[in-house]
Structure 1
Amino acid sequence: MQRNVWLIAISVVLALILINNTIYYLLTKQTLEEGHEAEMLRLGKQIEISVEQTRKSSAYYEELIARELRAVSIAAQYALDPDVEKVTDEQLKELSAKLAVEHITLLKRTEDDILLYRSSDPTQPGTSTKTWKPWHQIFQQLLDRERHEEWVGQSLTDFWSGPFETSSTDKGKVYKWGYYYDGTTNYIIDPYVSYQGTQGEFDKMVGVERVVNDLIQRGDSLLEIAIFNPETFPDGVWYVKEAVGKKENMVQRAQLHGHYNLKSDKDVQSVKQAYGSNEVVSFDEKLGERHIHKMFIPVKSSSEDVRIVDENGEPMDSYVLSIVSDYSDIQKKLDKQFLNLGLIILLLTIASLTIAIIAMRYYRQSREKAVAVTQETYTEEINSMFNSIRAQRHDFLNHVQTIHSLAELNKHQELVAYTKELTGDIQLMNDIIDIGNPAIAALIRSKISQAESYRIRFSCSLGGFKLQGMGAKTLDMNRVLGNLIDNAFDEVMKYEEHEREVVLIGSQSEHVLEFVITNTCLDAKRLAAKPLFEAGYSTKRGQHQGLGLSIVKSIVDSYKGEVAAFADAKDRLSFIVRIPL
């Protein structure tokens, strides 16, 4: 039975430890994930600020280029004839070299088109701009001296310059064009410079690509940073040009800056969701053997020109920043913390089990000691009863001689008194013997003698007990009665002799064995409400261990019985025991 209890206790402890570890693991994982998410969000905001500052610097540098192109246009206007027919390609070639631009082209309006009419680039003349949107419309507005529509680029007096863009006649080249017309010529002056020689060099030193690369190299867990055009992601917008075939405008690219190699099926939906809701979107995913964390941050620019347009050529003021980090860092931190926790829990578990084992051994030894004392008392009480009986038989002859002498001396009064006392003592012994159980009888006889020595009025009323074959063991019943009687004696010894009273009533029926022990207790109501049956609880001072009533309860519980304490009156405390048979 005890082994089963130990196994159950150990199983419960192990189950609790397992549940605790599992809950801690999940909570720690959630905390680390939330911390990683917050860290990536803070990093994203820092990247956003860095990218925006760098992009604004690039935009400002591009604006300076546009102003230079306008100055080149004015210089070219003074150097050229106002009639385009009187200007040659050779003049433009020589002029572009002097003004340090890539090329200069002159645009002429026809009945239904605006053509690249003269140019220092021999591939340019004769090219139509009718299909160039919105360039063609802006050219018309310049020639009509109208205020042209706001679009991506720089607008100055009589001048407009678009962003760096892929050439329509040579898709391998990226240029920035400037268009100037003040009404004094019959053509638009169009100087332009290459990206590599101007803006490209700036971006290599302090541009967005440089910032992105530096951040990835410095970040321990950063894998990729990219900037997306949410309106054209993921395929972009492609145009078919007769001269160069399929071409994508730079301002309509799906990926504007950064690196995009770790692709997921969720990317398209996440970009659209972040852009549409203006909220951060993130998810975790395993790509091959790599576990990654992706975050998509919508960025709304405060600048008037972000050089991004949608699929219809309309300017946009926002984009989506993508950050990819290595999720395995979380798992490494989690494994490290869990290992440390496991060691701590293991040490605490060993310490707890050791303390529990020591406590259980101490408790068991205390119980065994109490049982040993009870058995020793039981043996002594049996011997005491037998000694009393033998003493009565041994003194029988003396009693007879005394009676004979009193009769011869006609001492009738003395004879009556002597025989009354003698028969009372014998009757008491016979009543005890008639209980029906020698062991219980011996216990009661011993307690009567003890009560006489303590000046305690101890009265008993017991029916016949036939415990054999009924489940209740005599030794256990003696332990119950002995502890209850000793507890009552200890309590009444606190009071004067005339207040020391203990009453024992016992009976046995067909189905139940019942004992009621009542003793004097001037604080009965308060004491009855105390946890009297808990191990270690005691109202006595000194060497008492508080095990007597606890042993009573454990024995009664083992027989599925009941034990309780209650106050009959303010000065009477009773204990009742009922054991089913």
Structure 2
Amino acid sequence: MRDMQRNIWLMAISVIVVLILLNNTAYYFLTKSTLERSFNEELLTHAKRLEVSLEQSRQGAALFQDQIGRELRMASIAAQYALDPDVEKVTNEQLVELSQKLGVSHITLLKKLPDDIVLYKSSDKSQLGESTKGWKPWYEVFNQLFEEKTASVDWLGQTLPNFWSGPFEVSSTSLDQVNKWGYYYDGTTNYITDPYVGYERQEEYERATGVHRMIESSVQSSDSLMEIAFINPETFPDGINTIHPNGDVQGHKVQEPIFYGSYTIKSEKDTEWVQKAYLTKQTVTAKENINGKEIFKMFIPVFTDDNGINITNRDGKPMDSYVLMLTSDYHIIQEKLDSQFLNLGLIIIVLTSLSLLIAVAAMRYYRQSRDKAVKVTQETYVEEINQLFQSIRAQRHDFVNHVQTIHSLAELEKSKELVAYTKELTGDIRLMNDIINIGNPAIAALVRSKISQAESYRIQFSCSFTGLNMQEMGVKTLDVNRMLGNLIDNAFDEVLKYSEDRRHVTLVGKQTADHLEFTITNTCEQAEETILKPIFEAGYSTKELDHQGLGLSIVKSIVEKYKGDVYVKAEPNGKLTFILKIPL
């Protein structure tokens, strides 16, 4: 029996351990997912800050470029006043001197020929005689200016009266230079005046106030962030190049694949990921081993409010979107996650240990309470048997005294007193015989004990039994006594609330071929309300605080062990009846 109980407790503890581990495992993976999502959100925060910085830098750079364009227009007008309106009468030496005075890199004069527009005079000798027919869309702009039309092309640029200036771009005549050109023509000359400046001024402005500083700051302030790149998704990864007849390859700044940041940590799948982010307009994340290092990349599509980010697609049309790529060292990220997972693991271990300790303590307390109730029942059982035997011995011991009393009353011819005495004596003997004849000494002992207890409490306790047979009962006597003892005690506790004339408790027991049945009825004014309460639940009690509320719960558990049933019903005239049935 003890081995069975021990196995039940071990099984219960095992189930609790499994449930706790499952719960903690689910919590672990949920927290892991949360931490990884938090890291992604951190990268997105970096990205958002960079987007804002780029937008501010772009707007500032656009204004700065416009200012340079206006300066170029003013330089064009000043040069036109200083030069002869006939291009043939202007010398290259004059242009060299004039460009120095006006603070521009160089000045070039464009002449219109029947089928071309050429760089006819210039302070930069490398440009002399260069054709512009293949320059798109510049050649279209030159023709519009010579026709005294407002310059209008689907290209990045600045249009002012009689003037147009494109963005900073790689020079077609000096492939290692990036310049910004201004073109002015008002019809008073036979040439377009073209002053231009190098990229140094714009680059210095952008480095001092723009996105470059934010990129450097973001990489330096982050433990894991390694590289940031602003990507032109239309020209990534190789950009757009123009092949000149002499074999020179000219790149185009507005079509550079990386227009801000750097791109040195490369993967073969980068193009695929960039296109996926750009076309789906969804952030793409990827983890890959590059040069023996675990790298985490995030590709974020960004869209602006206008086509003014100084990049174009393959056809030269301005764009309103780009892809921001963040490259991180996943090893450092994993170390951070592992550190947090370690802390989480320690928390889980502590919580699991505490949960197990609480569960074991609760089970031990419950078992001790149960064992205590069993011990009390067993002690009561032994005491009741002893009381029964004591009552029998007392009757036998007093038998001679009773005979002598009867004899004396007879000699004295006290017939009335003799009748009264023998009636009382036979009643006591009959009651004892009825108890002895119950058929089960243990149950008889319990009933005898409860009769004595009822007498001391002035409770009218009546009982009757039919057919109880210890050998054929099919239920352990100890369990029967535990059930009856708790039910009778429960009835006594209830009737003690009332006056002596209303303290009625009735016990009826019978055994048939099919079942064993006990019925206990007692006075109860709140019978209707009582039957609606969970009186069979462990811990529930309507009595004082020193009651544990285990009595009726023990009865129910024993009955269920024998596949029986116990229930309660309200009787008329304020009576409450407990009915206990156990199949045999």
Q: TM-score range by the shorter chain?
A: 0.7 to 0.9
- The 1-side partners of 2:75 and 2:542 are apart by 109
Please name the residue that 2:303 is paired with: 299
Which of 232, 235, 242 lines up with 2:245 in the alignment? Answer: 242
1:182 counterpart = 2:197: no
Q: Given the superposition, is the C-alpha separation of residues 469 and 131 from structure 1 closer, same or farther in structure 2, using an over 3 Å criterion?
A: farther
Matches within 5 A, 1:248-267: 248-263=251-266
Unaligned runs of 5+ in 1: none
Please name the residue that 1:47 is paired with: 50
Which of 386, 390, 395 lines up with 2:389 in the alignment? Answer: 386
Matches within 5 A, 1:407-556: 415-468=418-471, 471-541=474-544, 543-556=546-559
Q: Given the superposition, is the C-alpha separation of residues 93 and 42 from structure 1 closer, same or farther in structure 2, using an over 3 Å criterion?
A: same
Percent identity, aligned pairs only, is: 60
Which secondary structure state, in structure 2, belongs to the residue aligned with residue 128 of structure 1? Answer: coil
Amino acid aligned to 1:580: P
Please name the residue that 1:154 is paired with: 158
Unaligned runs of 5+ in 2: none
| TM-score, length of structure 1 as denominator length | 0.87
Q: Given the superposition, is the C-alpha separation of residues 56 and 434 from structure 1 closer, same or farther in structure 2, using an over 3 Å criterion?
A: same
- Give a deviation string over 1:134-185, Cα, whole Å, max 9, x none: 1111111122222221432222333322222112233222222232333333
Q: Say whether the 8 Å CA contact 1:301–1:318 is kept in structure 2.
A: no
Which secondary structure state, in structure 1, belongs to the residue aligned with residue 110 of structure 2? Answer: strand
Q: CA offset at residue 30 of structure 1? A: 4.4
Q: Given the superposition, is the C-alpha separation of residues 22 and 284 from structure 1 closer, same or farther in structure 2, using an over 3 Å criterion?
A: farther
Which secondary structure state, in structure 1, belongs to the residue aligned with residue 387 of structure 2? Answer: helix
Q: Say whether the 8 Å CA contact 2:156–2:310 is kept in structure 1.
A: yes
Amino acid aligned to 1:18: L
Q: Given the superposition, is the C-alpha separation of residues 118 and 407 from structure 1 closer, same or farther in structure 2, using an over 3 Å criterion?
A: same
Q: Given the superposition, is the C-alpha separation of residues 415 and 112 from structure 1 closer, same or farther in structure 2, using an over 3 Å criterion?
A: same
Amino acid aligned to 2:255: Q
Q: Say whether the 8 Å CA contact 1:165–1:250 is kept in structure 2.
A: yes
Which of 177, 181, 196 lines up with 1:192 in the alignment? Answer: 196
- The 1-side partners of 2:100 and 2:388 are apart by 138
- The 1-side partners of 2:203 and 2:398 are apart by 132
Q: Say whether the 8 Å CA contact 1:561–1:578 is kept in structure 2.
A: yes
Which of 298, 309, 313 lines up with 2:312 in the alignment? Answer: 309
| TM-score, length of structure 2 as denominator length | 0.87
- The 1-side partners of 2:517 and 2:267 are apart by 80
Amino acid aligned to 2:171: S
Q: CA offset at residue 75 of structure 1? A: 4.4
Task: Name whichever of 451-460 and 404-413 sits farther off.
Answer: 404-413
Amino acid aligned to 2:503: R
Q: Say whether the 8 Å CA contact 1:274–1:298 is kept in structure 2.
A: no
Amino acid aligned to 1:539: T
Q: Given the superposition, is the C-alpha separation of residues 101 and 397 from structure 1 closer, same or farther in structure 2, using an over 3 Å criterion?
A: closer
Please name the residue that 2:285 is paired with: 283
Q: Given the superposition, is the C-alpha separation of residues 404 and 18 from structure 1 closer, same or farther in structure 2, using an over 3 Å criterion?
A: same
- The 2-side partners of 1:355 and 1:144 are apart by 94
- The 1-side partners of 2:151 and 2:16 are apart by 81
Q: Say whether the 8 Å CA contact 2:487–2:520 is kept in structure 1.
A: yes
- The 2-side partners of 1:557 and 1:138 are apart by 100
Q: CA offset at residue 513 of structure 1? A: 1.4
- The 2-side partners of 1:376 and 1:316 are apart by 95
Which secondary structure state, in structure 1, belongs to the residue aligned with residue 498 of structure 2? Answer: coil
- The 2-side partners of 1:378 and 1:403 are apart by 36
- The 1-side partners of 2:101 and 2:261 are apart by 37
- Give a deviation string over 1:2-47, Cα, whole Å, max 9, x none: 3233323322332333233234334434444554455444443332
Which secondary structure state, in structure 1, belongs to the residue aligned with residue 538 of structure 2? Answer: coil
Q: CA offset at residue 515 of structure 1? A: 0.9
Q: CA offset at residue 570 of structure 1? A: 5.2
- The 1-side partners of 2:482 and 2:273 are apart by 77
Q: Given the superposition, is the C-alpha separation of residues 520 and 323 from structure 1 closer, same or farther in structure 2, using an over 3 Å criterion?
A: same
Q: CA offset at residue 225 of structure 1? A: 2.6
Which secondary structure state, in structure 2, belongs to the residue aligned with residue 169 of structure 1? Answer: coil
Task: Name whichever of 509-518 and 395-404 sits farther off.
Answer: 395-404
Which secondary structure state, in structure 2, belongs to the residue aligned with residue 382 of structure 1? Answer: helix
Q: Given the superposition, is the C-alpha separation of residues 328 and 468 from structure 1 closer, same or farther in structure 2, using an over 3 Å criterion?
A: farther
Q: Say whether the 8 Å CA contact 1:168–1:244 is kept in structure 2.
A: no
Runs of 4+ in structure 1 deviating by more than 6 angstroms, as ranges, are 327-330
Q: Superposition RMSD on alpha carbons, in Å?
A: 3.3
Task: Name whichever of 305-314 and 217-226 sits farther off.
Answer: 217-226
Q: CA offset at residue 133 of structure 1? A: 0.7
Matches within 5 A, 1:390-409: 390-403=393-406
Amino acid aligned to 1:214: S
Q: Say whether the 8 Å CA contact 1:378–1:478 is kept in structure 2.
A: yes
Matches within 5 A, 1:133-152: 133-150=136-153, 151-152=155-156
